[in-house]
C-alpha cells in the first residue's frame, strides 16, 4: 500500500471501491476557501452556510445551526439542555472557552434524596432536571462575537418549526428509542407525537410550540427564557410534576467564560475545557500514550487496542475521583494533565495483561446522545460547539406547550458524601459533553468533536492518534473503526472491579480479538455507541478549509 499525503492508496486490493484514500473511508474531505460548516444534519449545515454567505461570522452561523438542530434532532439536543464551546478569535489571536452548563436547583439537596430513600438520582422524570444553559450560552457567544441580530439567526429554525422538515432515518430510529423511555410523561406526546406516534423516516414534522418559544426568545432575548413567561411556565409545570426546578433557579443562572487547557501530543497542542466536563481525560490518555511507539504497533493491532484501553482505564479512574465543578471541588487539573504525572501512571500499564482494577492517581505527585458541530468563516474564526439534553431527549419533562424537553444532567451527581461530584444546590454536575481544538505552532489547526457520553474523550484521543500516528486525513480519522471501553469507575460512585468490556467496530479483525481475549480483556459486541464526529481543519499554506463529517449518523460537511 502506497502512502500519499498522510493517507494511503491501495495498489491492488480485491473489493476496493475507492480511487484514493484508505479502504474504509466513506467519502473524501470537503475543501473550500471562504467558509466551512460541519454539523450532524444536512439541513443545519446549509443554514450555517446561508448565514456565512449573508455576512455572518462563524459564531453567528453556529448559533443559527444549533437552534435548528434542537428542532431537527430533539433526540440529542435542544434548549432544555446545556452547551459548551471553544472559539478561535481570529482578530485577537485568542482561544477562549464557554461553559454554559446549568446548576442544581436550590431544592436539590442530599437530604431530599435521603428522605425519599434513594441511593441514586433517578435517570428520568422530574427529579434529575438541572437548569438548562443552552439559551444563555447562545447569548453569551453572541454578545462577545456575534455580528448579526439574534432574531435573524433564530429565523431559520422558527420557519422550519412552523413549516416542517422531513425526519431523517437516524432521528426516526432515535425517536422510537426515546418514546419508549419517556413518551409517557405529560407534554411529550402532545409535542412529539402529532399523529399518535413519533415521526417516521421521511415524514414532515412540525413543532409550532417550539416556534413560538424561539420567537419569544428572538424578541425578548435571553431574559424571555430565564426571567419571563417561559421561566414561569417551566416553574408551574415542574411544580405540578413534583420536580425541584423553580423560577428563581432559572433567573439566577449564568454561564462562565473559561480558559481551555492543553497538552502537547507529538507537536500538536490539543485543547479541552477544564471540569466540570470530562475533556481533560482525553489529554490524560494522550499523555500516557505518548510514551509508546503507537505508530509501530499499527492501527487495529491488538497491541495498540490493549495499550489504548489500559491508558483509558487509568485516566477514567482519575475522572471518577477528581472531576467536578471547580467552584465546589479542588480539581488538580495542572497535575492531572502534566507529563510528569503521566510518566508515573504509565508504569501501571502491563504490556500483555489487562488490568481488572486500577487505582486513581495520587495527586501528591506535583451514555448519551448529543450533537456536535463546528463552523469556520472567511476571516479565520472557528468555533467548536457541543450541545446536549443527556440520555437522548433528556428527562421526559416537556413543559406545557413550550415544545422542548428538559435535560436530566443531575442524574450524573454522586450522592456519596465527601465525593468531589457530590450533589449540592447551585453546583454544576459532572458533564460528558466536550468540544475540542488543536493548535500547532501557536496557530489554529483543527476544530473537532465526537459526541457520545463516555465515548467522547476516548474518541477525541483516537482522532488525534489516527492523524498523527497512523497518517490518516481528517475524514479517514473519523471513519476508522473505533475502540470503546465501558466499565470504568464513574463520577456517580460506581467502581470498576472486573476490567470492563471492550467494544470494537467491525473493522477490527478476528485475530486481534483473539489476542486481546488471551490478554485478559472481555470483548462485547459492536453496540452502536461509538459516537458522532465532525471536524474542520485550516490549511494556512493554501488558505483553504478541510471539512469532515460522521458516516455513522446524518453528518454533513459543506463549504463555499
Q: Cell numbers 466540570 label which residue? A: 276
Given a contact cutoff of 8 angstroms between Cβ atoms, the answer to whether 486 and 464 are in contact is no
pLDDT at 3 over 50: no
Q: What is the average pLDDT across 216-243?
A: 98
Q: How confident is the model at residue 365 (pLDDT cuts 50, 70, 90)?
A: very low
Looking at residue 354, what is its pLDDT? 93
Tell me the backbone φ, ψ of residue 528, rounded to 5 degrees: 60, 25
Cα distance between residue 64 and residue 136, in whole Å: 14
Q: Check residue 143 and report its DSSP letter.
A: H
Looking at residue 15, what is its pLDDT? 47
Least confident segment among 94-103, 459-468, 516-525: 516-525
Looking at residue 369, what is its pLDDT? 62
Q: What is the average pLDDT across 489-493?
A: 82
- SS3 label, residue 458: helix
Looking at residue 6, what is its pLDDT? 39
Q: What is the average pLDDT across 362-391?
A: 81
Q: What is the average pLDDT across 225-238?
A: 98
Looking at residue 12, what is its pLDDT? 37
Per-residue pLDDT reduced to its tens digit, 495-544: 887 889 999 998 788 999 999 999 999 999 886 789 899 999 999 999 99
Give the cell for residue 560. Answer: 463555499
Cα separations in angstroms, 343 against 285, 358, 384, 415: 12, 16, 30, 33
Among residues of the chain, what percentage have pLDDT more than 70? 95
**Beta pairing class for 436-440 and 483-486:** unpaired
Residue 374 falls in the annotated catalytic set:
no
Catalytic residue, candidates 213, 370, 374, 432:
370
pLDDT at 14 over 50: no
Looking at residue 466, what is its pLDDT? 97
Cα angle value 59/408/450 (rounded, 5°)? 45
Cα distance between residue 404 and residue 394, in whole Å: 10
Q: How confident is the model at residue 18 (pLDDT cuts 50, 70, 90)?
A: low
Per-residue pLDDT reduced to its tens digit, 389-430: 998 899 999 998 999 999 999 999 999 999 999 999 999 999
Looking at residue 319, what is its pLDDT? 93
**Which of these, 558, 539, 538, 540, lies nearest to 549 by C-alpha position?**
558
Mean pLDDT of the chain: 93
Q: Which residue has the higher pLDDT, 493 or 436?
A: 436
- SS3 label, residue 560: coil
Looking at residue 130, what is its pLDDT? 98
Looking at residue 526, what is its pLDDT? 80
pLDDT at 432 over 60: yes
Per-residue pLDDT reduced to its tens digit, 142-178: 999 999 999 999 999 999 999 999 999 999 999 999 9
Per-residue pLDDT reduced to its tens digit, 255-271: 999 999 999 999 999 99
Looking at residue 48, what is its pLDDT? 98
Looking at residue 226, what is its pLDDT? 98
Among residues of the chain, what percentage have pLDDT more than 90? 84
pLDDT at 362 over 60: no
In the chain the domains, ranked by start, together with CATH numbers, are 30-294+327-344+361-484+524-560 (3.60.20.40)
pTM (2 decimals)? 0.94
Amino acid at each position: 500500500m502506497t502512502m500519499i499525503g498522510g493517507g494511503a492508496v491501495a495498489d491492488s486490493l480485491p473489493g476496493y471501491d475507492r480511487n484514493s484514500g484508505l479502504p474504509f473511508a466513506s467519502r473524501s474531505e470537503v475543501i473550500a476557501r471562504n467558509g466551512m460548516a460541519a454539523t450532524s444534519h444536512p439541513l443545519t449545515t446549509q443554514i450555517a452556510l446561508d448565514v456565512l454567505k449573508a455576512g455572518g461570522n462563524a459564531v453567528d452561523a453556529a448559533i443559527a445551526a444549533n437552534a435548528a438542530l434542537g428542532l431537527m434532532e430533539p433526540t440529542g439536543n435542544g434548549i432544555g439542555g446545556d452547551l459548551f464551546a471553544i472559539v478561535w478569535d481570529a482578530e485577537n489571536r485568542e482561544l477562549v472557552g464557554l461553559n454554559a452548563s446549568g446548576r442544581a436547583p436550590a431544592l436539590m439537596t442530599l437530604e431530599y434524596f435521603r428522605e425519599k430513600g434513594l441511593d441514586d438520582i433517578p435517570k428520568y422524570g422530574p427529579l434529575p432536571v438541572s437548569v438548562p444553559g443552552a439559551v444563555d450560552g447562545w447569548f453569551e457567544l453572541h454578545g462577545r462575537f456575534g455580528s448579526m441580530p439574534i432574531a435573524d439567526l433564530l429565523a431559520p429554525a422558527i420557519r422550519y418549526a412552523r413549516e416542517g422538515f422531513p425526519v431523517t432515518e437516524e432521528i426516526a430510529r432515535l425517536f422510537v428509542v426515546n418514546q419508549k423511555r419517556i413518551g409517557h410523561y405529560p407534554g411529550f406526546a402532545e409535542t412529539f407525537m402529532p399523529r399518535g406516534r413519533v415521526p417516521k423516516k421521511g415524514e414532515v414534522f412540525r413543532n409550532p410550540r417550539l416556534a413560538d418559544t424561539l420567537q419569544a426568545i428572538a424578541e425578548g432575548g435571553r431574559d424571555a427564557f430565564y426571567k419571563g413567561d417561559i421561566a414561569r411556565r417551566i416553574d408551574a409545570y415542574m411544580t405540578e410534576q413534583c420536580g425541584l426546578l423553580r423560577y428563581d433557579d432559572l433567573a439566577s443562572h449564568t454561564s462562565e467564560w473559561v480558559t481551555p487547557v492543553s497538552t502537547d501530543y507529538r507537536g500538536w497542542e490539543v485543547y479541552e475545557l477544564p471540569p466540570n466536563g470530562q475533556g481533560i481525560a482525553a489529554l490524560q490518555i494522550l499523555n500516557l500514550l505518548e510514551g509508546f511507539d503507537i505508530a509501530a504497533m499499527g492501527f487495529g493491532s491488538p497491541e495498540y487496542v490493549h495499550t489504548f484501553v489500559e491508558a483509558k482505564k487509568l485516566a477514567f479512574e482519575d475522572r471518577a475521583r477528581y472531576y467536578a465543578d471547580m467552584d465546589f471541588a479542588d480539581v488538580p487539573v495542572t497535575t492531572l494533565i502534566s507529563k510528569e504525572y503521566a510518566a508515573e501512571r504509565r508504569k501501571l500499564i502491563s504490556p500483555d495483561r489487562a488490568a481488572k482494577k486500577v487505582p486513581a492517581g495520587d495527586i501528591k505527585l506535583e451514555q448519551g446522545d448529543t450533537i456536535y458541530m463546528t463552523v469556520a468563516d472567511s476571516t479565520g474564526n472557528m468555533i467548536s460547539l457541543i450541545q446536549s439534553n443527556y440520555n437522548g431527549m433528556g428527562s421526559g419533562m416537556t413543559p406545557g406547550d413550550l415544545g422542548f424537553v428538559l435535560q436530566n444532567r443531575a442524574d450524573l451527581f454522586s450522592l456519596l458524601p465527601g465525593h468531589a461530584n457530590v450533589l449540592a444546590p447551585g453546583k454544576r454536575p459532572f458533564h460528558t459533553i466536550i468540544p475540542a481544538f488543536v493548535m500547532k505552532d501557536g496557530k489554529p489547526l483543527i476544530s473537532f468533536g465526537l459526541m457520545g457520553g463516555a465515548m467522547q474523550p476516548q474518541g477525541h484521543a483516537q482522532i488525534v492518534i489516527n492523524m498523527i500516528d497512523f497518517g490518516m486525513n481528517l475524514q479517514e480519522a473519523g471513519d476508522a473503526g473505533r475502540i470503546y471501553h465501558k466499565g470504568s469507575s464513574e463520577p456517580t460512585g460506581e467502581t470498576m472491579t472486573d476490567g470492563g468490556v471492550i467494544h470494537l467496530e467491525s473493522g477490527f479483525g478476528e485475530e486481534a480479538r483473539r489476542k486481546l481475549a488471551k490478554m485478559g480483556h472481555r470483548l462485547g459486541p459492536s453496540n452502536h455507541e461509538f459516537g458522532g464526529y465532525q471536524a474542520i481543519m485550516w490549511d494556512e499554506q493554501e488558505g483553504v478549509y478541510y471539512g469532515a463529517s460522521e458516516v455513522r449518523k446524518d453528518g454533513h460537511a459543506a463549504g463555499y
